[in-house]
Amino acid sequence: MQIFQYPSQPEWAALQQRAAAGQAQDVEQRVAQIFADVRQRGDAALLEYAQQLDGADVRAGLRVTPEEMQASQAQVPAELQTAIRQAHANIRRFHEAQRPTEERVETMPGVLCWRRAVPVQRVGLYIPGGTAPLFSTLLMLGVPARLAGCPEVVLCTPPQKDGSVNPVILFTAQLLNITTIIKAGGAQAVAALCGGTESVPAVDKIFGPGNRYVTAAKQLATRYGVAIDMPAGPSEVLVIADETANPVFVAADLLSQAEHGPDSQVILLSDSLAMLEATQVEVQRQLATLPRATVAAQALAESRAILLRTAEEMLFFSNQYAPEHLILAVKNPEQLAEGVTSAGSVFLGHLTPEAAGDYASGTNHTLPTNGYARNYSGVSLDSFLKKITFQRITAEGLHGLGSVVETMAEAEGLTAHARAITLRLETLVSPTQTQV
């Protein structure tokens, strides 16, 4: 990581740049071709892409069978099963507290308004399953989907070389009572969820992370009237560390993010040059011991350590950057956290690693990246709900509200709007005039 000492604010913009996506137009064109192919050929296209892109033969069937589901439990170590069940309980407990309440409000006498939460009827969950099958993400998406009461939940995940699905993903799906599991990955899976095929039900909203092809596919899905959780890109963390931080911990946090992928980004801010230098040394020491050292090293090449003067200046930089994950490794983290306005998820203090939120503390790890934390929230129970407003007006309410609506409608030149009120008021003035 290159150290930048006391950059001026005009220089911050360059330091806050994410790594260039590169070849974006080529990716979009390829994804558009895949969409057209899947929409035209359905399952046949999915079978072909599984062979070409995943090296997997799934001609026996795109859907996971009950027998495959049953066999998965025996293939998952008992210790991992216990850990997943505990994470499931914590995530469920946190998301259960997000249940909305339905409150009826009388805005004026006889005018009653309320809002009701209704689950999205058909949701698709995309779970990567390559070198790092993200069963933790299945928990993060499946738990709120089930709590919201979504009637149909479809899971897409890439098949392994032998045409099977990673047993840990199947075990987690069983825990969540998800039975519609499709052996399909990449942009082709998103295309299938978007339009449906012989084996894949079409959905109303698609959730889940993925590579740049999956990201482009989700964005394309919105043009077909299918919603997505949020724009997403490579994972990232920003750490604010003062002189009280432990360089060993800080380095571990930076590397835990860097090992996600070569396009991940980590940024370290400190008001202590000694802290930056000590962390640099520790990053190199720990990096040498990582199985994914090559991946992490590529990410570090695009990452930065920045020396600033004060905690306030570091927080200002962070709010501009709007990180997916923000770690406050400082003496008074609660005090500094009060000023956070743009971040996906915040981790306070020296004993709160971002890895805890990734897996099992209870908060959701599906978060906005690439600066979208300025205007997007992470996935929550709300992500799986629609809010529908209702209202009912009595005779008393129409008498009180009617002239307000008539006046406003006439002022906008919308006579029919005003007439919809007037005709009703006339029936109230003359009860015998039931037909107009």
Q: Taking all residues of the chain, what is their mean pLDDT, rounded to a whole number?
A: 94
Tokens found for residue 207: 């959730």
Cα gap 37→191, rounded to integer Å: 9
Q: Are residues 83 and 202 in the same domain?
A: yes
Report the phi/psi class of residue 43: left, alpha or beta, with left for phi > 0 and alpha for psi in -120 to 50.
Answer: alpha
Q: Are residues 224 and 346 in the same domain?
A: no
CB 152 within 8 A of CB 146: no
Cα gap 269→25, rounded to integer Å: 34
Calculate the alpha carbon distances from 436 to 283, 400, 425 in Å. 80, 22, 11
Cα-Cα end-to-end distance for the chain: 77
Residue 160 located in a structural domain: yes
The angle, 0 to 180 degrees and rounded to 10, between the axes of the packed helices 24-41 and 186-195 is: 50
Structure confidence by residue, pLDDT tens digits, 186-203:
999 999 999 999 999 999
pLDDT at 320 over 50: yes
Structure confidence by residue, pLDDT tens digits, 281-307:
999 999 999 999 999 999 999 899 999
Cα gap 276→268, rounded to integer Å: 8
Torsion, Cα 154 156 162 167, to 10 degrees, reads -70
Calculate the alpha carbon distances from 404 to 114, 304, 395, 413, 415 in Å. 20, 58, 15, 14, 14
Residue 76 located in a structural domain: yes
Q: Which residues are annotated as a binding site for Zn(2+)?
A: 257, 260, 358, 417
| Integer Rg of the chain from CA | 26
Q: Are residues 166 and 47 in the same domain?
A: yes
SS3 183: strand
Q: Is residue 296 within a helix (H) or strand (E), and if so which, with residue range?
A: helix 293-301
**Percent of the chain surpassing pLDDT 70:** 97
Tokens found for residue 135: 């069963």
**Percent of the chain surpassing pLDDT 90:** 90
Q: Is residue 52 within a helix (H) or strand (E), and if so which, with residue range?
A: helix 43-54
Residue 14 located in a structural domain: no
Who contacts 119 (Cβ-Cβ below 8 Å, separation ≥6)?
A: 148, 149, 150, 151, 384, 385, 386
Q: What is the CATH number of the domain that holds 410?
A: 1.20.5.1300
Q: What is the CATH number of the domain that holds 274?
A: 3.40.50.1980
Q: Are residues 248 and 313 in the same domain?
A: yes
Q: Are residues 315 and 257 in the same domain?
A: yes
In 3D space, the residue among 198, 216, 218 whose CA is nearest the CA of residue 207 turns out to be 218
Residue 15 located in a structural domain: no
Mean pLDDT score, 317-341: 98
Who contacts 21 (Cβ-Cβ below 8 Å, separation ≥6)?
A: 27, 212, 233
pLDDT at 46 over 60: yes
Residue 434: per-residue pLDDT: 45
Residue 20: per-residue pLDDT: 62
- What is the extent of the structural domain holding 225? 24-229
In this structure, are strands 236-241 and 227-228 parallel, antiparallel, or unpaired?
unpaired
| pLDDT band, very low/low/confident/very high, at 130 (cuts 50, 70, 90) | low
Q: Are residues 299 and 350 in the same domain?
A: yes
Residue 361 located in a structural domain: yes
Of residues 231 and 256, more confidence is placed in: 256
Q: Which residues are annotated as a binding site for NAD(+)?
A: 126, 188, 211
Amino acid at 108: M
Tokens found for residue 189: 């899976």
Who contacts 274 (Cβ-Cβ below 8 Å, separation ≥6)?
A: 243
Number of domains in the chain: 3
Residue 436: per-residue pLDDT: 37
Cα gap 230→366, rounded to integer Å: 9
Amino acid at 80: L
Q: Which residues carry out catalysis?
A: 324-325
Mean pLDDT score, 52-72: 94
Q: Are residues 209 and 84 in the same domain?
A: yes
Structure confidence by residue, pLDDT tens digits, 354-409:
999 999 999 999 999 999 999 999 999 999 999 999 999 999 999 999 999 999 99
Residue 5 located in a structural domain: no
Q: Are residues 75 and 110 in the same domain?
A: yes
In 3D space, the residue among 363, 369, 370, 348 whose CA is nearest the CA of residue 239 turns out to be 348
Residue 154: per-residue pLDDT: 98
Q: Are residues 28 and 164 in the same domain?
A: yes
